[in-house]
């Protein structure tokens, strides 16, 4: 019976990054990695996590997405602004083109296959850019911006976020204003066609987007996976995502 229960759990594919090692036996080596908080959050929400490494072959990327019931887009490096037809500003930080190409393709393929998606931090920005949106290369481009890169432990709330009511995201929270952590310097600017805003910070910076429709497609700018251990309501976002992925389990 236990084996049957595990088999029926949805499989969540977690998009990884490439880490360039420094000061090790093999300096300059690229390693596939993801912060373990994502793995723990997916399991706590009742799904089976698997890591999807960065690859370039489109047919292989499609096979990655076909094998999972939902796709988790994670945080990471800046997105190359050439993907949204902008030249790099001086505030732009490290980019990794191979990671961009993999994650943008994965998001587009997942949409074509009607797979639920949850974007976290950079993952939200990937969702936006993948479908025609643009980014602030640095939130300081917003004249009224507050501090969005906090200097404290990862689970500590950094600022307030206003949840837009009657959105998919609002079903995860029973309040209009929540406290979130914040570790980003880029943000959504022009929203991709078909998406709407589901959360904003007090300074007006977009803290979340989603695509209304039958397939769960939600992005949020903060890191609920880092907060879930101390703030259980943050796990609700993952539970809602996993519940949507369950509908694709055969």
Residue reference for tokens 């974007």: 119
The domains of the chain are located at: 2-246
Reported as type and span, the H/E element at residue 177 is strand 177-180
Indicate the pairing of strand 30-33 with strand 177-180: unpaired
102 catalytic? Reply is: no
223 catalytic? Reply is: yes
Mean pLDDT of all residues belonging to the chain: 94
| Beta bridge partner(s), residue 19 | 31
CA-nearest of 236, 147, 231, 234 to 187 is: 147
Burial code of 77-90, b = ≥16 C-beta within 10 A, e = fewer?
bbbbbebbeeeeee
Sign of the torsion formed by the C-alpha atoms of 248, 211, 156 and 37:
positive
Of 102, 121, 159, 210, the catalytic one is 121
- Three-state helix/strand/coil letters over 95-139: ECHHHHHHHHHHHHHHHHCCCCEEEECHHHHHHHHHCCCCEECCH
Residue 6, pLDDT score:
61
- Tell whether pTM > 0.85: yes
Name, in order, each residue with C-beta under 8 angstroms of 212's C-beta and a sequence gap of 6 or more.
168, 194, 196
SS3 11: strand
Rounded Cα distance between 120 and 100, Å, is 15
SS3 140: helix
184 catalytic? Reply is: no
Of 102, 148, 184, 223, the catalytic one is 223
Weakly modelled stretches of the chain, pLDDT under 70: 1-7
Residue 1, pLDDT score:
43
Rounded Cα distance between 102 and 61, Å, is 7
Of 102, 184, 207, 225, the catalytic one is 225
pLDDT digits (tens, 9 = 90+) for 139-196: 999 998 988 989 999 999 999 999 999 999 999 998 999 999 999 999 999 999 999 9
Does the structural domain 2-246 have CATH classification 3.40.50.880?
A: yes
Sign of the torsion formed by the C-alpha atoms of 25, 30, 32 and 36:
positive
Residues constituting the chain: 250
């Amino acid at each position: 019976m236990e084996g049957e229960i595990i088999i029926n759990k949805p499989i969540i594919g977690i998009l990884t990054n490439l880490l360039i090692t420094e000061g090790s036996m093999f300096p300059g080596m690229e390693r596939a990695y993801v912060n373990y908080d994502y793995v723990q959050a997916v399991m706590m929400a009742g799904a089976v996590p698997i890591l999807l490494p960065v690859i370039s072959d489109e047919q292989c990327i499609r096979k990655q997405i076909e094998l999972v019931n939902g796709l988790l887009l994670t945080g990471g490096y800046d997105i190359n602004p050439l993907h949204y037809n902008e030249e790099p500003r001086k505030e732009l930080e490290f980019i990794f083109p191979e990671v961009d190409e993999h994650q943008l393709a994965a998001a587009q393929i997942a949409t074509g296959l009607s797979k639920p998606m949850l974007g976290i931090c950079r993952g939200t920005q990937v969702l936006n850019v993948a479908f025609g949106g643009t980014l602030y290369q640095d939130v300081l481009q917003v004249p009224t911006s507050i501090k969005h890169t906090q200097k404290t432990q990862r689970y500590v709330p950094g600022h307030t976020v206003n949840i837009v009511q009657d959105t998919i995201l609002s079903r995860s929270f029973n309040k209009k204003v929540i406290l979130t952590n914040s570790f980003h310097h880029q943000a959504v600017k022009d929203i991709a066609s078909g998406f709407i805003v589901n959360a904003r910070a007090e300074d007006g910076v977009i803290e979340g987007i989603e695509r209304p429709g039958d397939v769960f497609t939600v992005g949020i700018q903060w890191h609920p996976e880092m907060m879930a251990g101390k703030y259980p309501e943050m796990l609700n976002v993952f539970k809602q995502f996993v519940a949507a992925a369950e509908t694709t389990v055969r």
